[in-house]
């Protein structure tokens, strides 16, 4: 839901414990923050994920190593976006209770509107929204 445009699997753990210790071991080697403004303007950098994956294998805990997947490939994730904004401006329904606009795309948890406004749906959890399609 965060808008990744590509991915590669590293391992498939049989339980949450092994997945968790692997995640903790890898998190100091992998950035966990996405620059959401760059993501929503489609200003993305291409990374050789297969090489990056290979460099991470040495950090996987011993007890999880038997679950490393072989021959993985890069997966491209496509979102339905007709138009990316040049400059991003957020819609916050706690401050402005209405927003009208033409929906031009969905990327991860964000709705992208024609006027360059974006709405992070996750930040509006618990609200009841009315969406009209005309």
Q: What is the pLDDT of residues 56-76, one digit of tens each?
A: 999 999 999 999 999 889 999
Tell which wins on pLDDT, 1 or 7.
7
Q: What is the pLDDT of residue 115?
A: 92
Closest CA to 110 of 46, 7, 37: 37
Q: Are 85 and 41 in contact (CB under 8 A)?
A: yes
* pTM (predicted TM-score): 0.77
Cα-Cα-Cα-Cα torsion 88, 77, 22, 36, nearest 10 degrees, comes to: 0
Helices (H), the chain: 16-26, 36-40, 49-56
Q: Is the dihedral of CA 113, 118, 120, 123 positive or negative?
A: negative
Q: Are 35 and 10 in contact (CB under 8 A)?
A: no
Q: What is the pLDDT of residues 24-48, one digit of tens each?
A: 999 999 877 778 888 899 888 888 9
């Amino acid at each position: 839901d965060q808008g990744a445009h590509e991915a590669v699997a590293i391992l498939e753990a049989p339980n949450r414990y092994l997945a968790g210790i692997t995640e903790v071991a890898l998190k100091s080697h992998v950035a966990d923050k996405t620059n959401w403004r760059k993501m929503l303007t489609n200003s993305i950098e291409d990374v050789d994920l297969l090489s990056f994956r290979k460099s991470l294998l040495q950090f996987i805990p011993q007890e999880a190593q038997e679950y490393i997947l072989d021959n993985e490939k890069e997966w491209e994730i496509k979102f339905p976006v007709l138009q990316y904004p040049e400059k991003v401006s957020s819609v916050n329904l706690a401050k402005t209770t209405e927003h009208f606009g033409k929906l031009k795309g969905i990327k991860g948890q964000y709705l992208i509107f024609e006027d360059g406004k974006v709405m992070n749906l996750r930040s509006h959890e618990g609200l009841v929204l009315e969406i009209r399609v005309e």
